[in-house]
Amino acid sequence: MKIVTDEKRLLGPGPCNVSERVRAALARPMLGHLDPDFLEVMETCKDRLRGVFRTRNAATFPVSGTGSAGMEFLLVNFVEPGDRVVVGVNGVFGSRMANLAEKIGAEVHRITAAWGEALPLDGLKAAIDEHKPKFFGLVNGETSTGVYQSVDGLAEAVHAHGGLFALDCVTSLAGMPVEIDARGIDLAFSGTQKCLACPPGLAPVTVSERAREALARRLRPVPSFYLDLNEILAYINGSGGRSYHHTAPISMVVALTEALAEVLEEGLEARWERHAEAARYLTAQFGKRGFTPLVAEGDRLHPLTTLRLPEGFDETAVRKRLLVEHGIEVGAGLGPLAGKIWRIGLMGHNARPEVVDELLAAFDSGTP
Examine residue 72 and tell whether it contacts ligand PLP (CB under 6 A). no
Which stretch, 25-33, 165-173, 280-288, 353-361, contacts ligand PLP (CB under 6 A)?
A: 165-173
Residue 330 β-bridge partners: 11
CA 116, distance to chain mean position in Å, is 17
Task: Provide the 3-class DSSP secondary structure of residue 307.
Answer: strand
Interface residue with ligand PLP among 66, 224, 230, 237 (CB under 6 A) is 66
Examine residue 171 and tell whether it contacts ligand PLP (CB under 6 A). yes
At closest approach, how far in Å is the CB of 163 from ligand PLP?
Answer: 21
Smallest CA-to-CA distance from 99 within 131, 67, 130, 72 is with 72
At closest approach, how far in Å is the CB of 96 from ligand PLP?
Answer: 7
Amino acid at 176: M
Span 12-31, contacts to ligand PLP by CB under 6 A? 13-14
Span 207-266, contacts to ligand PLP by CB under 6 A? none
Span 339-368, contacts to ligand PLP by CB under 6 A? none
CB 360 within 8 A of CB 322: no
Please identify, using beta-carbon distances, which residue of 31 and 279 lies nearer to ligand PLP: 279
Q: Which long-range CB contacts under 8 A does 306-312 form with residues at least 24 apart?
A: 306/116, 306/145, 306/146, 306/333, 306/337, 306/341, 306/342, 306/343, 306/344, 307/283, 307/341, 307/342, 307/344, 308/340, 308/341, 309/339, 309/340, 309/341, 309/342
At closest approach, how far in Å is the CB of 126 from ligand PLP?
Answer: 24
CA 269, distance to chain mean position in Å, is 18
Which stretch, 16-24, 136-144, 243-251, 359-367, contacts ligand PLP (CB under 6 A)?
A: 136-144
In what order do the strands lie in the sheet containing 59-64? 59-64, 202-207, 187-189, 164-168, 135-139, 84-89, 107-112
Examine residue 116 and tell whether it contacts ligand PLP (CB under 6 A). no
d(CA 232, CA 357): 45
Which stretch, 27-35, 157-165, 168-176, 222-230, contacts ligand PLP (CB under 6 A)?
A: 168-176
Which stretch, 67-75, 215-223, 263-271, 329-337, contacts ligand PLP (CB under 6 A)?
A: 67-75
Examine residue 200 and tell whether it contacts ligand PLP (CB under 6 A). yes
Query: Which residues, 6 or more positions from 45, have their beta carbon under 8 angstroms from its beta carbon?
Result: 61, 62, 253, 256, 257, 260
Amino acid at 68: S
Examine residue 139 and tell whether it contacts ligand PLP (CB under 6 A). yes
* Residue with smallest beta-carbon separation from ligand PLP: 67
Examine residue 93 and tell whether it contacts ligand PLP (CB under 6 A). yes
Residues within the interface to ligand PLP (CB under 6 A): 13-14, 66-68, 71, 93, 139, 141, 143, 168, 170-171, 191, 200
